[in-house]
Amino acid sequence: MTRHRLTSAAGFTLIEVLITVTIVGVLLSMSLLVLPGAIAAAKADSGSSQLSALLRTAREQAVTERRNVEVRFQAPDAIEAWREDIDANGAQIGQTLVQQVFIGERMELRRFIELPDTPDGFSAGATAVEFTGAAPWSFTSEGTLVDANGDVVNGTVFLGRPFEPLSARAVTLFGPTALLREWQWNGRAWTE
């Protein structure tokens, strides 16, 4: 009669299981602490992305259609693009709303006065929409941003959620080329 030797099946000890469960628990609790901040930052970033997209679209439309496109900022959370309509003689006969965006996630046109200006330095005041010239501001058929007098302007549009300075975002616009830069406040400084 032959004897078969029984070998033990490989398995986990109770200590190994407890260590694994503890590590998973620590990682889960750490992610629960970080996740709300990451979600809030992503929501704030979406507001500045919406603003940038509207500005880019308005500029492209002005160049493509060879018509001025005016950009309007309607507090608390709306941005509009209006195309100038012209008659056969080139005279302006009205405007048509071509795009309207409502910033979501409780973001609104907001300037936190305790925060400094962006590194571009286009804002001298304390309002949410700061351009170097008088409104209305329009993209021309050449792609530049001009004020009511036809002078090229630079500016900054600030966004944020009420009472949440860490949600502060800004979009700066360099008028001659319509270069856009998106900024976010990290608690100490503006970063791209």
Helix (H, G, I), strand (E, B) or coil at 52: helix
The whole-chain average pLDDT of the chain stands at 89
Confidence of residue 4 (pLDDT cuts 50, 70, 90): low
Structure tokens, 18: 């407890």
Contact indicator for 153, 120 with CB cutoff of 8 Å: no
What does the pLDDT read at residue 185? 94
CA dist 49 → 31, 40, 42 (Å): 26, 14, 10
Residue that wins the pLDDT comparison between 154 and 32: 154
Cα separation, 11 vs 113, in Å, equals 62
End-to-end CA separation in angstroms for the chain: 80
Q: How confident is the model at residue 11 (pLDDT cuts 50, 70, 90)?
A: confident
Measure the CA–CA gap between 95 and 103, rounded to whole angstroms.
23
User: Which helix (H) or strand (E) is 183 found in, with range?
Assistant: strand 179-185
List, for residues 157-167, the tens digit of each pLDDT value: 999 999 999 99
State residue 8's pLDDT score: 59
DSSP class of residue 148 equals T
Task: Annotate 101-133 with b (16+ C-beta within 10 A) or e (fewer).
Answer: bebebebbbbbbeeeebbebebbeeebbbbbbb
Domains defined along the chain, listed by start = 40-191 (3.55.40.10)
Percent of the residues in the chain that have a pLDDT greater than 90, as a whole number = 65
Instruction: State pLDDT tens for residues 106-143.
Output: 899 999 999 999 999 998 888 999 999 899 999 999 99
Q: Are 115 and 126 in contact (CB under 8 A)?
A: no
Alpha carbon separation from 184 to 31, 68, 84, 180, 187 (Å, rounded): 23, 30, 33, 13, 9
Closest CA to 84 of 99, 100, 62, 64: 62
Residue scoring higher pLDDT (95 or 104): 95
- What's the pLDDT tens digit per position in 86-96? 888 888 899 99
pLDDT of 10: 72
Q: How far is CA 5 from the centre of its chain?
A: 69
Kindly tell me if the per-residue pLDDT of 54 is higher than 90. yes
Q: Is the pLDDT of residue 5 over 70?
A: no
